[in-house]
Amino acid sequence: MRPPFHTERHAALWAHVGPTVPTDELAHDRWHIERVYRWSVHLARSHGVDPDLAGAAALVHDLVPIPKDHADRPLGGERSAAAAGPLLDAAGYTADEQAVVLDAVRTSSWSRGLPPNSGVGAVLQDADRLDAIGVIGAARCFATAQHMAPRAAGRASFHHPDDPVALTERALDDRHHAVDHFRRKLLLLAGTLHTETARREGSRRHEALLALLDAYALDTVAPG
């Protein structure tokens, strides 16, 4: 992650987190963490939440990455929280501060479906979900599909061959068709955001996703 950090404790925490970040998966790399970190701090400052705790939560929210197609994916937040305690302690966070940060991380996962219990938790959810919306969210979606492709038993593709942008009533299958993930998750995220600032930004990114999906549909129309 590029400096500057917003606090010395964030820099100390990143010194422990940075070396653990995967280098073979673009959707959840250090740049994802940086984007979530910067949005968490921004949202916290805009909405009366402690930016130090919000930034710390962002830095450790993906500490234990679990592949999107793994059965344990909903446990990613809990496992990251379990691993984060010693790192937060080493960076100088008190037991009370750690409790807030770790609870935010535990409830951050979309797949687990838990509501946030604090302002820090709301900010972390918003920042993480913003990074899944818009053009960068689409890029991360396709990067994830490529990462899962070796385990897809030859069934991986950008889209369903007969229904590219999922306009029919067929069952969505985003483990094998990347564009299905738009309707299964990405287009639902804007409606789950908590803070006013995130909702405004989420609305803009949501419209970008819709426009991209419309363009994608046109690109799949065969001539003749």
Return the domain boundaries, the chain: 1-115, 132-224
Below-70 pLDDT ranges, the chain: none
pLDDT of res. 85: 96
pLDDT of res. 136: 97
Q: Do 43 and 85 touch, CB atoms closer than 8 A?
A: no
DSSP string, 149-172: GGGSTT--BSS-SS-TT--SSSPP
**What number of other Cβ atoms are within 10 A of residue 167's Cβ?**
10
Domain covering 1-115 in this structure, CATH number: 1.10.472.50
pLDDT of res. 1: 75
Q: Do 118 and 137 touch, CB atoms closer than 8 A?
A: no
Read off the pTM.
0.94
The C-alpha atoms of residue 197 and residue 194 are separated, in whole angstroms, by: 9
pLDDT of res. 190: 98
pLDDT of res. 222: 77
pLDDT of res. 65: 84
pLDDT of res. 67: 78
Domain covering 132-224 in this structure, CATH number: 1.20.58.1910
